[in-house]
Amino acid sequence: MANTISVGLLGLGTVGSGVIEIINRHQEELRHQVGSTVSVKKVLVQNLNKKRAVDVDANALTTTVEDIIENPEIDVVIEVMGGIQVAKEYILTALRNKKHVVTANKDLMALHGAELLQVASENECDLFYEASVAGGIPIIRGLVDGLSSDRITKIMGIVNGTTNYILTKMSKFGSSYNEVLKEAQELGFAESDPTSDVEGLDAARKMAILASLGFSMEVSLEDVIVRGITTVTEEDLKYSEQLGYTMKLIGIAKRKEGRVEVSVQPMLLPNEHPLAAVNDEFNAVYVYGEAVGETMFYGPGAGSLPTATAIVSDLVAVMKNLRLGVNGHAVPAPLHEKKLKTDEEIESKYFLRLLVTDEAGTFSAITSLFAKHGVSFEKLLQLPVEGREVAEVIIITHTTSRKTYEDIYNALNELGVVQSVESSYRVEGGQ
């Protein structure tokens, strides 16, 4: 193994700058851990003359990607440029040129991870992507290495800082979704186009990656049930609190008897649940194993240095593998065939908020409908609406299947005493 490992960096934005900062600051620690220093030999940028957030040798900058992915002197390519198709082509070329790759690209790994890992294995190269999920939290390494001897049954967590920030502020201050979104954009917690975050797509990509690793099966983005937070109202949060719950955008992946479910949606958690106390832009992931029981990974889910820390940790893993001569064998191919649960097999409790006619027989009609489907109430709140001949009914059901709940939901919309189904959410946790 060489005394210096040469790195090519694709992208020099916020995260790329953090990578260079950590490499420059931690040379002594890198040499101590793996016996080599790291040299950032080339950096792909769009503008050679742009002012940089970190000190970079001008001779290292290039606008030509071939200077990195086809450069025989570069050992490891770090991709932090984002995007999907172009990044995929660059990474494939690098792997075929026998270069190890570290990426933070969750979109790419969620959509094309299996193909990229296969090409990496064929070329005896490492492809690591710890920073693609939950920023600086070592959740992927925890699944692949730390819990590799266990059988994972559930992965559940908050994996998007933007939506967690929005829901935290709405809950604490009673602000509207639009007000808090604007504030989050001004503070840099939300993008100018927040669609990927607030519609749940960002979290869904991360959950597809975690489910694939945790269950050792090829779970794709299309397998994830996705719902965002754009329809969450102040009333939903107020009533959730009254009933002892906190709302979070939760990613959840469950496995039972070889069949899995994966979803991302606003969920109600009991206030005593540890995830209910994870606020602002922080992330947290619970992992349940048959042997270990419950473990929790918590920390900043984004940001320049937290994400860069995960990237450089992957770089260290590549360097250790180089020293041992075992590159390209870190992640085995999926062990299990993918088997998704049907709607009859997905079970949960549910929260419902209804506007109903405030008259005799209304409650009887609603309870009869639920009884017909074999579903009972765990909690119930009924409040008159001032100045109107309607009442608001809030229900927490006992556990039922997704199919049965959808049948009930559709029937409620046809029930004469129900003026409208105002909102509906899954409830997770608790007895």
Report DSSP state, residue 78: E
d(CA 362, CA 412): 12
**Domains with residue ranges and CATH for the chain:** 4-135+304-324 (3.40.50.720), 139-300 (3.30.360.10), 347-427 (3.30.70.260)
Tell me the pLDDT tens digit for each residue of 254-269.
999 999 999 999 999 9
Selection from 300, 345, 279, 289 nearest residue 156 by Cα: 289
The token pair at 172 is 């604490």
Q: Is 364 helix (H, G, I), strand (E, B) or coil?
A: helix
Q: What span, in angstroms and rounded, lies between the C-alpha atoms of 333 and 93?
A: 21
CA angle 151, 154, 157 (to 5 degrees): 135
- Of 276, 271, 206, 282, give the one whose Cα is nearest residue 242: 271
Q: Measure the CA–CA gap between 402 and 213, rounded to whole angstroms.
A: 25
Give me the average pLDDT of each 10-residue run along the chain (431 residues).
Answer: 88 93 91 89 94 89 97 97 96 97 94 92 94 87 87 96 94 92 86 93 95 94 96 94 96 96 98 94 94 91 84 94 84 86 97 92 93 96 83 95 97 94 92 55
* CB contact burial 302-337 (16+ within 10 A = b; e otherwise): bbbbbbbbbbbbbbbbbbbbbeeeebbebbeebeee
Which residue shows structure tokens 């190269």? 125
Residues that are catalytic? 206
The pTM for the full model equals 0.91
Contacts of 298 (CB under 8 A, 6+ apart): 137, 278, 282, 283, 284, 285
Determine contact, residues 137/301, Cβ cutoff 8 Å.
yes
* Residue 251 DSSP label: E
**What is the largest distance, in Å, between two alpha-carbon atoms of the chain?**
83
Sign of the four-CA dihedral 351, 344, 409, 360: negative
Q: What angle do CA 374, 379, 381 make, to 5 degrees?
A: 120
304: helix, coil or strand? helix
The reported pLDDT for the residue numbered 286 is: 94
What's the pLDDT score for residue 332?
72
d(CA 175, CA 47): 41
Tell me if 267 sits within 8 A of 226, measured CB to CB.
no
Instruction: Give one DSSP letter per residue of 226-276, joined into a string.
Output: E--STT--HHHHHHHHHTTEEEEEEEEEEEETTEEEEEEEEEEEETTSGGG
How many residues belong to the chain?
431
pLDDT of amino acid 303: 75
From the list 261, 253, 234, 107, the residue with the least C-alpha distance to 178 is: 234
Between CA 41 and CA 60 the distance in angstroms is 6
DSSP single-letter state for residue 60 = G
Q: What is the DSSP letter of 340?
A: B
C-beta separation of 211 from 334 below 8 A: no
Three-state DSSP state, 211: helix
Q: Give the burial class of 143: count Cβ atoms within 10 A of its Cβ; 0-12 exposed, 13-18 middle, 19 or more buried.
A: buried
Q: Are strands 4-10 and 76-79 parallel, antiparallel or unpaired?
A: parallel
At residue 393, the 3 state secondary structure works out as strand
Q: What is the chain's alpha carbon radius of gyration, rounded to the nearest angstrom?
A: 24
Q: What CA–CA distances, in Å, run from 222 to 204, 228, 247, 250?
A: 9, 15, 25, 17
pLDDT in the model for residue 430: 64
How many Cα neighbours within 13 Å face the side chain of 231?
11
Contact indicator for 135, 282 with CB cutoff of 8 Å: no
